């Protein structure tokens, strides 16, 4: 009895530790992201209910989740197109996200824009535009503003490996570095930009190799480990919050899908998909959680079930959200029309 009790206590202790708590949060949001995106890509899109481009972050969920956990609730986030979890972590509901993808008024852009092009300033979420890396100078400006206002918040901005080729990426980081703006930069290096592999995108080995050119620190992390990304994100956030300027975190991962829902990704060697499927951040974390005693497999199964149910309900909610009234077409181009 005593032994059993002790074991239970140990388990209990492990599952009560801050690390366990973090892991559970990470698992929850990664699973939610996976589930919501699965529905969008594999069900709603194929049913013709979602129009326009569908870009998902399958296999890359650890990046927004690890980063988002490292952010303070009042930090400002600039997600890119594979960072759905950041929205969930800031309280955007799956229903709102489905509605967004379906062009309904219940989405964050009320049908004005689609898919991941969404934001909500009251939640510290800034919407991307399509042009890759265009967010980087904007994030730099937001970070400069926080410093201007004497606030101790920071900004986190997200982008892919391909985006780093754009002039905006360079100009934005350089400005932020000169201004010592509190900006943490997360690169989702999933080794492809659409069909373009890394060696046609850049001639250096790592995106992090660019950091010295801006006089900022960088680190490379396992992009499929949310806790490692969280740790790096904390270091980056601390650095930025202390007034030391930008910090670059390169997350090495792999895009486990085509570029978008209509892309079969024939150009990716099959073997790469196989190798990287061993690295699924959700499976890896679950394994570790069980090993460390942070959760039981039953608890994990329950989590999945709960998320599936919530997602079902969210889709129902979204499908009941109306399409925007055409008479609103010309509103909000300016503060007052005219």
Residues 6+ apart with CB under 8 A from 104: 111, 318, 321, 322, 323, 324
Q: Which is nearer to other proteins, 36 or 54 (CB)?
A: 54
- Closest-CA residue to 234 (of 71, 63, 30): 71
Figure out which of the listed residues 192, 214, 230, 294 binds ligand TPP, where binding follows CB under 6 A. 192
We find the least distance from the C-beta atom of residue 188 to ligand TPP, in angstroms, to be 5
Alpha helices (H) in 157-225, listed in sequence order = 167-178, 198-201
Residue list 245-284, contact with ligand TPP (CB under 6 A): 255, 259
Size of the site for ligand TPP (CB under 6 A): 16
> What is the contact mask toward other proteins in residues 202 to 241, using x (rule: CB under 8 A)?
x---------------------------------------
Interaction site with a second copy (CB under 8 A): 165-171, 174-175, 177-178, 180, 199-205, 209-216, 245
DSSP labels, 245-281:
--EEEEEE----S-SSTT---TTS-HHHHHHHHTT-H
| 120 binding partner (options a second copy, other proteins, ligand TPP, none; Cβ < 5 to 8 Å by kind) | other proteins
| 6 binding partner (options ligand TPP, other proteins, a second copy, none; Cβ < 5 to 8 Å by kind) | none
Q: Which stretch binds other proteins (CB under 8 A): 9-17, 19-27, 163-171, 277-285?
A: 163-171
Q: Where are the beta strands (DSSP E) in the chain?
A: 76-78, 155-160, 183-189, 192-193, 196-197, 218-222, 247-252
DSSP labels, 29-66:
HHHHHHHHHHIIIIIITTTT-S-S-----TT-THHHHH
> What is the contact mask toward ligand TPP in residues 208 to 247, using x (rule: CB under 6 A)?
----------------------------------------
């Amino acid at each position: 009895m005593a032994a059993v009790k002790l074991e239970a206590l140990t388990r209990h202790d492990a599952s009560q530790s801050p690390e366990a708590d973090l892991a559970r949060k990470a698992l929850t949001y990664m699973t939610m992201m996976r589930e919501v995106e699965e529905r969008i890509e594999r069900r709603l899109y194929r049913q013709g209910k979602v129009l326009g481009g569908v870009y998902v972050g399958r296999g890359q969920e650890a990046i927004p989740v690890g980063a988002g956990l490292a952010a303070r609730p009042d930090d400002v986030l600039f997600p890119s197109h594979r960072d759905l979890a950041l929205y969930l972590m800031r309280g955007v509901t799956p229903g709102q996200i489905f509605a967004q993808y379906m062009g309904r008024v219940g989405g964050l852009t009320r049908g004005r824009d689609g898919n991941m092009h969404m934001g909500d300033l009251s939640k510290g979420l800034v919407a991307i535009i399509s042009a890759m890396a265009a967010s980087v100078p904007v994030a730099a400006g937001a970070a400069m503003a926080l410093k201007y206002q004497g606030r101790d918040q920071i900004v986190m901005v997200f982008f892919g490996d391909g985006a780093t080729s754009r002039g905006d990426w360079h100009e934005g980081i350089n400005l932020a570095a000169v201004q010592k703006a509190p900006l943490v930069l997360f690169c989702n290096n999933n080794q492809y930009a659409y069909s373009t592999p890394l060696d046609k995108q850049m001639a250096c080995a790592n995106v992090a190799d660019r950091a010295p050119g801006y006089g900022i620190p960088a680190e490379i992390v396992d992009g499929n480990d949310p806790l490692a990304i969280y740790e790096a994100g904390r270091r980056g956030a601390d650095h930025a919050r202390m007034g030391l300027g930008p910090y670059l975190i390169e997350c090495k991962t792999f895009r486990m899908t085509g570029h978008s829902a209509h892309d079969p990704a024939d150009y990716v060697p099959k073997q790469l998909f196989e190798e990287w499927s061993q690295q699924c951040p959700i499976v890896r974390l679950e394994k570790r959680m069980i090993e460390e005693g942070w959760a039981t497999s039953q608890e994990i199964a329950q989590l999945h079930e709960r998320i599936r149910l919530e997602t079902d309900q969210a889709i129902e909610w979204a499908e009941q959200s109306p399409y925007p009234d055409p008479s609103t077409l010309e509103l909000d181009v300016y503060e007052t029309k005219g």
